[in-house]
Structure formats: structure tokens, C-alpha cells
Chains A and B, each alone.
Chain A
């Protein structure tokens, strides 16, 4: 798919990796493509197609599960960050490529060179990460909600495919709340929207149901092999926030403040990650076929789910909504297809709507390639 878009992804990688050996080449490469900053957008679009394809496949009881590119979200995420800094990465971090000087026993010389490359590579990565962080940190972890017009304005210079879609979206949605694009945006958006929904419902049944679901996750984690020593304290932080709502100690601005505080906010994000991982592990037979390269689920979780800043793929969304029994609707918006309609995908937990579950209206998230924000539906 998207034949013309494929090379751009390679270019991005070229820029950030080949410089170990071909310092100058890589640099030229990067500099000779003035439009590089735009390319990642293409790469992202590609990934969104992929995501949609995955979604379709899932519902078709697919046999091509191995197609799922687990690396997709990272690429999209990377692309965002890499766009501007690539050139700098190459030029700043490698002041001297430093050829091996003194004649040494061959093995040592090779080792030296290899080691030097390794060190340089590590430095490049770290530099790239620091830029990525700096870039992302300009946005609060969770922002104040804005009129959906703001989203429209973002594309005023851009593609009318997006503008048309936003117009459509605005028919039923009036607000958007942005989340920082740090790789945790799905979990953070989910977490905030969930807590906010509970808070604003002012409904004790909803709150108790949510609290029960949360408490039940401890059993889930344990049964999936996590040590209580590792997650207990983090769980406590999350539960405490839920209980503070119960005690009436939270209003919407306080909730926002809490989600903007690195420490508590990241505890919540990470706990949602472990819930997701625990669920995927518990139902590994169902989800393992979706992993690329026949990756084993434990390994997958330790690399892509339990780790902060790793983007969520669509099986993560399924897992989290099911584990917590929280319905989510996601508006998928990309500029790659010409349909004016925004596709909504419903992630509903499979539990029969019994008890309090039915009362919780689905959280609504907006997905643009590589990123999640929160949407608000007109009442």
C-alpha cells in the first residue's frame, strides 16, 4: 500500500542511523531533502492505513494476523520527533568521525571501531530522545479543552481532506482536549477521559463500578505473573485518585491539575499499561497471532506495553477497554483517504451490559496518525 510513501520511511531511518559509518553521506542526504519535515506525515498516514487494515482484519477473524506491524506506532511517533532534528543530530553529535589511528592488532582495531560506532550511535539516540522530549514538553501532559474550531484552524494551510473531515466531526462534537505526544497519549487520554467521565457523572453507581473494576485488576496482574512488590504502590496512587473523587475532593480543574503533574499522571499511565499487558498475557492465545515475527507475548509486553513512551497499538486499546470494562469510541482521522466521513471504531467490552456498566457512556478519542486526543460529543 501507498507505494510512494514507502521510501520516505527509509529516509528517516537513514538520517538517524547510517551516520555511524557514512557521516557525511547521511548528512548530505538529509540536507538535500528540504521537504523532509513533511515526509513523516506521509509515513504517519501510512501507519494509519495500517491501523485501519488491522481493524478490518480483526473483525474478519483474520488469518493474516502476522501482518500487523507492531513497529508502526513507533515509526509514526519517531517520525514526529525526527522531522526537524535529524540534520542536527548528524552534525552536532559527531564532531569527528575519528578514523582508527595507530596500527593495532586487527581484532582490537575492529573492536575499537565497532565500539566507537556503538558509542556514537548511543549518543545520537540520546540526543534524538532529548530533542523529542523537549519538543513534546511544550505541550502539557493533558491540555485544557478547546473548541473544535481550533482543530480546524490547525489545517487551514493544510489538506482540505482534513478540513472536510473536521467539519463532519464538528456536527456531533464540539470540543477537543489535547494530550502530549510523548508516546503515552493513548493511555493518558483514556485515563483522563475515564476519570473525568466518572467525576462528571456524579453518580455513585458509576464510581463504585469503576472502583470495582480497578480493584479487580490487581487479581488480573497477579494471575499474569506480576509481582505485587512492583505494582502495589503504583496501584495505590491510582486508587487514591478514584477514592478522592468518591470523597468529593475533586473538581474538574483539580483533575486536570493531577493529570498535568508528571508523577501522578505517569503512575496512572503506567498502571494502565500494566493492566493492558496483563490482559494481553492472560488471553495470549487470542492476541499472539497479531504480533509480528511470531513474537512471544511476554517479550512483546516488556518491549512495547510495560515501557513508558511506547505508542499503543490497536490490540492495546482492545485489551484495556476489556480489562477495565470501559467502552471507547475512536474517531480515526487521516488525510490518506478521500472519504469525507470520519470512521468511528467502537471498542466495547464484551460483558453484557449489566449492573452499572450500561450507564457509562463511551469515552470518545480522536486518533490522528501516531497520536490520540480526547473528543467531546455534543450533549
Chain B
């Protein structure tokens, strides 16, 4: 039973997410491995990401949910909180540590009550609302604050480039159709 409880939890959450999909992303298992998920983030309508489809990998540790998964975009993703190798830096995926300088304002860190769904929702929300106080990509952080037009331009190019990854049959919602449930 030792190894199976993490796998059980993940399998359950995976089934839940595939039978009741949450708008905004798709999930699939990589080679039937419940510890490695293929995630597709669907650009939210009425945002600069509209029309895009961004592939990423969610990797879970053996002792999930006691430690957080890692999230990595498969392609370059220009964003203040994404490293050049695609790794996403988001507080809820940081191991819970005593941070002596953080005080009470510290952002929420990993905690086993998070579900995959809540993780993905936080990620989608970070995409549109970067945290520029501790940027993983300094250039993106600076540009986001000082030159939004150029920033949006780069994002737009990435949205266009990402369209090749849209799986067959997946309808990407746009603001014109507003067909979100």
C-alpha cells in the first residue's frame, strides 16, 4: 500500500478532472504514468492569451500530496514568473518553509489540501496577473511594468505560435463566441 496512496489520489483527481473538465485547461497522462501529466492551458478569452494553447508538464513527487508537483511549460513562455527553461515559479508550488522575512504577508505556499484543480486555477490566474515582486524572468518583469505594448506583442507572437499545438477537435473559446460554460 505504501506507494499506492499517492498514485490513488492522483488517479482519482485525474478521473475527476477528465469526467468534469474545468474550463481553461486539458489534462492527460504521459505514458499512463499518473505522476506525470500533460497539461494544456487554454488561453482565456478576453485576455492577451486568447486563442492560445500552451502545453506544459505537471510532475508529481512520490510523496504527493506532502510535497508539491512542479509545473513546466514545454515551450518558451515569456512571463515574469517563468524561467527561461519553462519552469513556473509560483508560491503555492514552493515547499512550505519557515520564511523568517516573509511575516504575515507571505504568499500561500504548498499545502496538501491543494488539489490539482486548485493548482491549475492558480496557474491560470497567475498568467494574466504576474507577480512582479520576485520575477523569474527579469526582462519580462521590467517590460511588463514599463512597456506593456512590447510585452503584449511578444505574448501575442507566442499565442500565434502555440496554435499549432491545439489538439484536433479541441475548440478554443474566443471572446466573439463566448461559449464558456
Contact = CB atoms under 8 A, between A and B. Distances in A.
Interface of A: 13, 16-17, 74, 77-78, 107-108, 111-112, 114-115, 118, 121, 125-126, 129, 226-227, 229-234, 237, 240, 261-264, 266-267, 270, 274, 293, 295, 299, 302-303, 306-310
Contact of B9 (A16, A118, A233, A310): A233
B142 A125 contact: no
Contacts of A234: 5, 9
Interface string B113-148: 111000000000000000000110011011000100
Nearest to A114: B134
B169 interface: no
A229 B104 contact: no
A78 B8 contact: no
Contacts of B9: 230, 233-234
Closest 10 CB pairs of A and B: A307-B96, A111-B138, A263-B2, A306-B111, A118-B134, A233-B9, A307-B111, A233-B8, A306-B113, A293-B104
Contacts of B110: 307
A270 B66 contact: yes
A130 to B, nearest CB: 11
A121 B139 CA distance: 21
B51 interface: no
A112 B139 CA distance: 9
B111 A302 contact: yes
B112 A115 contact: no
Contact of A17 (B63, B100, B142): B100
A218 to B, nearest CB: 15
A44 to B, nearest CB: 15
Interface residues of B, number: 36
Nearest to B136: A115
B12 A229 contact: yes
Contact of A237 (B5, B135, B142): B5
Interface of B: 1-3, 5, 8-9, 12-13, 16, 63, 65-66, 95-101, 104, 106, 108-115, 134-135, 138-139, 141-142, 146
B66 A308 contact: yes
A78 B115 CA distance: 29
Nearest to A105: B142
Nearest to A13: B100
Contacts of A262: 63
Given A233-B12, A295-B104, A306-B112, A264 B138 contact: no
A134 to B, nearest CB: 15
Nearest to B9: A233
Contacts of A308: 66, 96, 112
Contacts of B111: 302-303, 306-307
A2 to B, nearest CB: 20
Given A129-B97, A306-B112, 18 more contacts: A78-B98, A78-B100, A111-B135, A125-B99, A229-B115, A230-B112, A233-B8, A234-B5, A237-B1, A240-B1, A261-B2, A274-B113, A299-B108, A303-B96, A306-B111, A307-B111, A308-B96, A309-B96
B1 to A, nearest CB: 7
Contacts of A303: 96, 106, 108-109, 111
Contacts of B1: 237, 240, 264
A344 B38 CA distance: 54
B118 to A, nearest CB: 9
Contacts of B65: 230
Contacts of B138: 108, 111-112, 115
B134 A229 contact: no
A264 B2 contact: yes
Nearest to B146: A107
Nearest to A108: B142
A111 B146 CA distance: 13
B78 to A, nearest CB: 16
Contacts of A233: 5, 8-9, 12
Contacts of B113: 226-227, 230-231, 274, 302, 306
